[in-house]
Structure formats: structure tokens, C-alpha cells
Structure 1
Amino acid sequence: MPVNLAFLASHGGSAARHLTAACRAGELDAVPVALISNNSRSPALDWARAEGLQTAHLSSAGYPEPAELDAAILDVLREADADVLILSGYMRELGRRVLDAFAGRVLNIHPSLLPRHGGRGMYGDRVHRAVLEAGDSESGATVHLVTAGIDEGPRLAQQQVPVRPGDTLETLKARVQAIEGGLMLRAVRELIEELKTTEART
């Protein structure tokens, strides 16, 4: 049976869009079922509704206690019968309940070659700026399992891109973003195969 994918997004949800397109095209044996955002104005929410996914806006505005928000997210994921959770530009830390319920099944993509330029406060343009300021000769993207530590989970897939002379934040960012969709697709496909193999053995 196909694996059900759910997404957490704060803004555009590019990974959610890429993976959903792959599912629709038969390139990924999975079904996108839900998207949750902490941002009521997130373009990802409008996109997900148009795609027929179950959607929810869950944020600290409605759930001021982190444990309450954690529980609310888990309730939506269980209602949608999600198997795998993808962080698609989600700008909040996950709580213990979600992490425990989906242990080994939560993926995130980070725009650097972890463990370099990862950790608290390192996201988006901050990462590309740090790469340039460090004088690195290469950057890239890393898909990793999400654990309680920020960007500390096991790395599942990684791809390098060169840092070229004269690169700006925007040119480096574009080069990294160009590989992210394919890298995430590869990692999700491999995780799904692993889950199915494990299920077949039990």
C-alpha cells in the first residue's frame, strides 16, 4: 500500500509541492494527505487546499503552551493517517509527542553540507551567508531525520554544489535550491522502501 505523506510548512512549501507532484506523476509510491502551517497566510495552505489535502493552521496564537500545540499537531497527523512527516520550510521546533510518534519518519532538508552551518538560528539566507563568509569551496543540501537536536539527526542524503568566485547570496542560494527537490525525493523514496521492507518482515 502507498505511504501517506504529511507536511509542515511555514511559507511556500516547496518540498511539499515537489513531492506531491512526484506522487501525482507516479514517481513516488506515496499519497499526500495533509499540510499543517503555523502561518495563516502561508501560500502553502492555499496550495494544499487546492490540491485536496487536509489542511490546518496551528500556531502558538491558538495554542500558547508548546505541549498543547504539539498535541494538536499530532491529532491532525493521526486523523489524516499520516505515515511520514516532511518539514517543508517549517520554522518551529517539533515537540516530543510528534517526534516520538513519528520517530525515524520525520525528514527535513537543510541548505548546507551538515554538520557545517547547522544548528539553532541557522536557516535560509543565514546559512548561505555563513557559507560565503567562511570562504567554503562547496556547499549543498542535506536531508536528515529530525530529532530533538537542531539539525543533529542522522543524515540520509547529501549533495554538493560548488561555491564559485563572485558568488552572491542569491546566486549560491539558487544553485542550492535547484538540487533540493530531487535530493528530497530520493531520500523519501529510500525511506519508503525501507519502511515497506521492515513491514514485510513483521
Structure 2
Amino acid sequence: MADAASPARTRVAIFISGRGSNMAALLYAAALPDAAYDVVLVATNDPQAEGLALAEAEGIPTFALSHKGMSRADHDAAMDEAARKAGAEFIVLAGYMRILTEGFTRQWQGRMLNIHPSLLPKYPGLDTHQRAIDAGDSHGGVSVHLVTPELDAGQVLAQMKVAIRAGETAESLAERVRFAEHQLYPRVLNDYLRMQR
């Protein structure tokens, strides 16, 4: 892992809330020679988030601030300040379980991506896998999209389908969708950042 961001690469901050499996996929993809980005910060609203330990082990600066007892706007402002202090040019949401304020999303519009475990526009929000199973869909999947003030409604940049098998549970589908997420997210981020240059 590089000690400092390469000047030819875009500097990104990754926001997480949990174990950070997508963050890990993005982090290790950034170590590849053809990567378009460097991770300059991993930030979270949960100081106990498992993903922090991995980021720290790989030498990535971290920022953790619990949202409890704070207004949504104040917490967003603190996350924004941390990202800007790290020199981030883009924010990548990777399992960040907070609905961001309109002010925050507008400041980063076009420069903030999210990954969502459904084939948007189907099933924004939570419980996506069970909703797809209950609807009798043949496939679930994952979408990478730009973040806008409306939840999970930004432009979809790419999707990957995952078959729903007979007897599928939300848990078994989620496990396979996660593999798809780890393949798709780094590639879409790379492609999108190259287009912005």
C-alpha cells in the first residue's frame, strides 16, 4: 500500500458503518498498478466498526465519530470536514448506514458514489433481498449509483445480476450478492474516475 496518494490518482474517502468488506475490496483494488484512485481516509459513524482495524493495519488514516446525540446536520458536517482535511476529492459510501442531509449530498454531487444491494430502481432502502424473493424475481443483484438527496435514486452507473435459486433465503442471497459487490464496485469507481479527468 502506498504511503501517500499518487498525484496522478484521485483521492477518495470511504465511509463505512460496519465490517467494511466493500471497503476492503476497494482498498486492495487501489493497490493495483492500474488503479485510478488512492484511499486517503476511512471514516465511520461507529467507533466500533470492524473495518477501522483493517484500514489502520494497511496504514490508511481513519476518522470515527458516533452520530449518537448529534443532529444529522452536525454529524454530516464533521464527516465532511474530515474528508476535506484528508484531501478527498470523492466520497465512496461502502455500507454507510446513514441517510445524508440534502446539504451534504449537494456539496458532493457528482463526486459521491454508493453501492446498493438491489437492481435499482427496484427495492431502494432496506430488506432488499427478502423483497426480491417475495416478489418472485428471477434475479437479485447490486447497483452502483451516484448519490443524490433522494434515497437510492441517483444515476445508476452499473449493475450486476445474481440469480435467485429455489429455496433461496435473504441470507444466502446476500452472501452471493456480496461477492458481486466486491467485483463491481472497484471497477465502476475506476471507470467513473477516469471519465472525470
**Separation (CA, whole Å) in 2 of partners of 1:96 and 1:70:** 10
Structure 1 residue aligned with 2:72: 66
Q: Deviations over 1:128-173 (max 9, x none)?
A: 1111111111111000111111101110001112111121222211
> How well do the aligned residues superpose, as a CA RMSD in angstroms?
1.4
Q: Deviations over 1:80-124 (max 9, x none)?
A: 0001111110110122343222211111111111111113xx1xx
1:182 to partner: Cα distance: 1.4
Moved more, 160-169 or 81-90: 160-169
**Separation (CA, whole Å) in 1 of partners of 2:169 and 2:76:** 38
112 and 118 in structure 1: CA distance in 2 versus 1, 3 angstrom threshold? same
**Separation (CA, whole Å) in 2 of partners of 1:155 and 1:136:** 20
Structure 1 residue aligned with 2:159: 158
- Contact preservation (8 Å) 2:138, 2:163: yes
Name the % identity: 36
Structure 2 residue aligned with 1:188: 189
Structure 1 segments unaligned to the other structure (5+ residues): 197-202
- Contact preservation (8 Å) 1:60, 1:69: yes
Q: Deviations over 1:28-87 (max 9, x none)?
A: 1211110111111101111111121221112323x6122211211111111000011111
Paired positions, count: 190
2:128 is paired with a residue whose SS is: helix
Of 41, 58, 61, the residue aligned with 2:48 is 41
Structure 1 residue aligned with 2:3: none
Structure 1 residue aligned with 2:130: 129
**Separation (CA, whole Å) in 2 of partners of 1:180 and 1:47:** 18
1:19 to partner: Cα distance: 1.0
Q: Report the TM-score, using the length of structure 1 for normalisation.
A: 0.89
**Separation (CA, whole Å) in 1 of partners of 2:105 and 2:59:** 26
Q: Report the TM-score, using the length of structure 2 for normalisation.
A: 0.91
Of 29, 36, 39, the residue aligned with 2:36 is 29
Structure 2 residue aligned with 1:199: none
Q: How does 1:113-152 map to 2 (within 5 A)?
A: 113-119=119-125, 122=126, 126-152=127-153
Of 9, 12, 15, the residue aligned with 1:5 is 12
